[in-house]
Amino acid sequence: MPLRAHRKSLIIGAATMLALFTGTAFAADYEKMRPPRKLTKAQSERAAENYQKYCSLCHGVNREGYANDHAPSLRSQSLFESGVPHAVLRPLSYGREGTAMGGYLDEVGGPLTLDETWDLTYWLFWQAGVDRVRLSTNPVEGDVDRGRLLYAENCATCHGENGEGVDAPALGNQSALAHNTDEVIRYAIRHGRQGTPMPAWEDKLPSDDIDALTAFLRSKASGWTQQKPVLKAMPTPDQYVLNADGENPDFDLRDGRYVMAKDLLAAMESGKRMVLLDTRVTSVWQRVHLEGSIPIPYYTDFDELTAELPKDVMIIAYCSCPRAAADSVINKLRRRGYTNTAVMYEGIFGWMNMGYPVMRGEIAGMADSGSGH
């Protein structure tokens, strides 16, 4: 331990010296901000519980990331130096549309109150234990065309040709671009995300190039507004079984567990009897789901639920991950004696990509926006 601390202080010392000589912008040059409010013991315990219940499935028990779905680290130094609260509170509250990250705020149909989302944000900050730096909200100017070339050369392998995300976050995601200011994006590129595959580019690219990349990513933003869904009532137990008079489906399960989307669609179309579980956070069920599915998120109390769930009906679970949350639910059910169970292999995004039908939520104060804008 003392050895590591010693090495770290040497590195910091060298960096400060270098900064003095070259005038390069190191983290130390940013103005520090006051830390956010301290949590009470009760708030902190509650936040820790909420983290394990809702987030650890993908972000890992120790906030290390990559437990499932390539979910990023929730303890890297640069994220908590630059982001709190926007880069943490907003994705946690509203999700990142079109990714496995759903919204957890009650207002959009999630399980957490506004106070709980704030406490969880600050809890993550205090766990990371870093100082916040003050970043301006001014746009970063840069050469977009050069940024496009640099992106294709250096970033596309991990973040996708079009910023759609491969095993790294979707940088072209409209909610992410709306939540992160230019400086937050530039800070991530400069400093990387410690303890993750994201390198610090300030050692590899000149400052102008990092500005060009930031400006290029910003040019991908086409606007995003938080939509307020009209929350649907949750289905009641008497609505759980689809086609109660139908026959059970006869699936040929891959690995004794997975049903292909096309086989599930065929079973739905021919009126087979089954229960469909949507295992994602309930806010995303509100937005879009398979018709007849019931929202039974991965964090449900299964001892309570199983009182309501029949054992003689085929139960199929799905999520967007494409399988992590559904797998965890099916494991819990199988441990409780539900053997007639399966997971939809492709997940709901796979299902939608194939053009299969879904039910969409209603948005407050908006006409059907099919034509886009």
The residues of the shown chain that bind ligand HEC, judged by CB under 6 A, are 54-55, 57-59, 65, 68-74, 76, 79, 87-88, 91-92, 96, 99-101, 104, 120, 154-155, 157-159, 165, 168-171, 173, 176, 185, 188-189, 193, 196-198, 201, 213, 321, 325
Question: Cβ of residue 330: shortest distance to ligand HEC, in angstroms?
Answer: 15
> Could you tell me the CA-to-CA distances from 272 to 110, 120, 238, 244, 316 in Å, in that order?
31, 42, 17, 8, 12
Question: Cβ of residue 143: shortest distance to ligand HEC, in angstroms?
Answer: 14
Alpha helices (runs of H) in 23-143, residue ranges in sequence order: 41-50, 56-59, 77-82, 86-94, 114-128
Judged by beta carbon, residue 72 or residue 109, the one nearer ligand HEC is 72
Judged by beta carbon, residue 201 or residue 285, the one nearer ligand HEC is 201
Judged by beta carbon, residue 70 or residue 273, the one nearer ligand HEC is 70
Judged by beta carbon, residue 121 or residue 340, the one nearer ligand HEC is 121
Question: Cβ of residue 372: shortest distance to ligand HEC, in angstroms?
Answer: 21
> Would strands 359-360 and 258-259 be described as parallel, antiparallel, or unpaired?
unpaired
3-state class (DSSP) for residue 242: strand
Judged by beta carbon, residue 73 or residue 340, the one nearer ligand HEC is 73
> End-to-end alpha-carbon separation of the chain, Å?
56
Judged by beta carbon, residue 174 or residue 243, the one nearer ligand HEC is 174
Distance, CA of 55 to CA of 325 (rounded, Å): 11
Question: Cβ of residue 337: shortest distance to ligand HEC, in angstroms?
Answer: 26
Question: Cβ of residue 192: shortest distance to ligand HEC, in angstroms?
Answer: 8
107 and 363 in contact (C-beta within 8 Å)? no
271 and 243 in contact (C-beta within 8 Å)? yes
- Work out the burial of residue 350: count CB atoms within 10 Å of its CB; fewer than 13 is exposed, 13-18 middle, 19 or more buried: middle
Question: Cβ of residue 45: shortest distance to ligand HEC, in angstroms?
Answer: 16
E strands of the chain, at which residues?
229-230, 258-259, 275-278, 288-289, 294-295, 315-318, 341-344, 359-360, 362-363
Judged by beta carbon, residue 91 or residue 295, the one nearer ligand HEC is 91
Judged by beta carbon, residue 101 or residue 314, the one nearer ligand HEC is 101
Question: Cβ of residue 322: shortest distance to ligand HEC, in angstroms?
Answer: 10
Examine residue 322 and say whether the peptide bond preceding it is cis (omega within 30 degrees of 0): yes
Residue with tokens 């891959």: 254
Bridge-partner residues for 48, per DSSP?
Answer: none
Question: Cβ of residue 74: shortest distance to ligand HEC, in angstroms?
Answer: 6
Q: Residue 259 — φ and ψ, nearest 5°?
A: -110, 135
Question: Cβ of residue 154: shortest distance to ligand HEC, in angstroms?
Answer: 4
Judged by beta carbon, residue 284 or residue 290, the one nearer ligand HEC is 284
Closest CA to 336 of 313, 317, 309: 309
